Amino acid sequence: MFPADENGDVLRRMAEHGDNLSIARDIDFIVVFPDGQAAQKFAGTVRGWGFESSIEHVDSVPSFPWEVCVVRHMLPTHEGITEFEQRLGNEAALVGGRNDGWGSMQQD
C-alpha cells in the first residue's frame, strides 16, 4: 500500500497504530539551517507561499542549529508529503538548509 521508502515507512506505522489517514490535518515539516539568517530567509519565502512557519534555535544537530517548522494542512498521502518535502528541500538548499523530517498528531 505504501512505497518502500522513509515516508512510506512512517505512513505505514501511522496506519498500523490506528491513525485515520483519510482525515486532513496540520503536518509539521522541519527544515534545518546552519545559521539564523538562512532560516529567516527561508521562513519568509514559505510565508510568502501562504504557509505558517516558526523558527527555533535547537541543539539536536550542531552543524544545523536553526530549525524552521513549516505547517501545512493536508491529507497525509505519500505523494503529497513527498512532493512538498521536495519543494521545501529545493528552496532550503538555496540558502544551505535541508529537510529534517515531518510529523503530525494522530487522528482516530
In a domain, 55, yes or no: yes
CA–CA distance, 93 with 17 (Å, rounded to integer): 34
In a domain, 58, yes or no: yes
CATH number at residue 86: 3.30.70.970
Number of domains present in the structure of the chain: 1
Q: What cell was used for 82?
A: 513527498
Residue 31: what residue type?
V
Look up the domain containing 93 and give its range: 25-103
Q: What is the pTM of this model?
A: 0.94
**pLDDT tens, position by position, 13-53:** 999 999 999 999 999 999 999 999 999 999 999 999 999 99
**pLDDT tens, position by position, 50-106:** 999 999 999 888 899 999 999 999 999 999 999 999 999 999 999 999 999 999 999
Phi, psi (deg, nearest 5) at residue 33: -140, 155
Please report the sign of the dihedral spanned by the C-alpha atoms of residue 62, residue 64, residue 68, residue 74: negative
CA–CA distance, 19 with 12 (Å, rounded to integer): 10
> Is the model's pLDDT at 1 over the cut of 80?
no
**pLDDT at position 20:** 96
In a domain, 57, yes or no: yes
